[in-house]
Amino acid sequence: MAVGFHITAAILVLAFAIVYASDPSPLQDFCVAVQDADAGVFVNGKICKDPKLVKPEDFFFPGLNNPRSTSNPLGSNVTLLNVDQIPGLNTLGISLARLDFAPYGLNPPHTHPRATEILVVLEGTLLVGFVTSNPPMNMKNRLFTKVLNPGDVFVFPEGLIHFQFNNGQTNAVAFAGLSSQNPGVITIAK
């Protein structure tokens, strides 16, 4: 009797572990965001466009290959493509940014409360870094920095304060992927 109970319990535990380990499946292929409250279904903070009205343009943004102006006090420009620029990103959990830097340009310390960021440098040289938060007892916050050259990749964990600085004498360009369709940004200091 006890052996049968243990075998049944083991099978249930294994079945639950298999189900629990699977990736969730979306309820639909996509949910294109729309501003009109009468237009569709409310999912993930945005209203879904009627799928019959969706067009290829809902998944499209042109011209990200074009340099952006860095004529400002910081010498940088971030072009964020999230659900507000590409409505088809809604519920897909991803967004993209182009970062342009003049020589000695800075993307000041900031955080993305809802996303991890992965950055790749295409041109120039960037000094990048992030600061840990809530260190264990008897430890201090730690600064992780690295100088990146073209082709180098760096990851900024979700919610941690981070920055990018062009420490070179030429323009720099980088692209960043973020793990949210609406990562948010909180600038710490300029």
Binding-site positions read 107, 110, 112, 117, 162
**Tokens representing residue 78 in the block:** 């971030």
Q: 40 and 30 in contact (C-beta within 8 Å)?
A: no
DSSP 93-132: --EEEEEEE-TT-EEEEEE-TT--EEEEEEES-EEEEEE-
Tokens of 189: 């200091």
Q: Other C-beta atoms within 10 Å of 30: how many?
A: 18
Question: Residue 13: which region, alpha, beta or left (left: phi > 0; alpha: psi -120 to 50)?
Answer: alpha
Q: How far apart are the C-alpha atoms of 160 and 132, rounded to whole Å? A: 6
User: Which residues are annotated binding-site positions for Mn(2+)?
Assistant: 110, 112, 117, 162
- To the nearest 10°, the Cα dihedral for 41, 49, 22, 93? -120
Annotated binding site for oxalate: 107, 112, 117
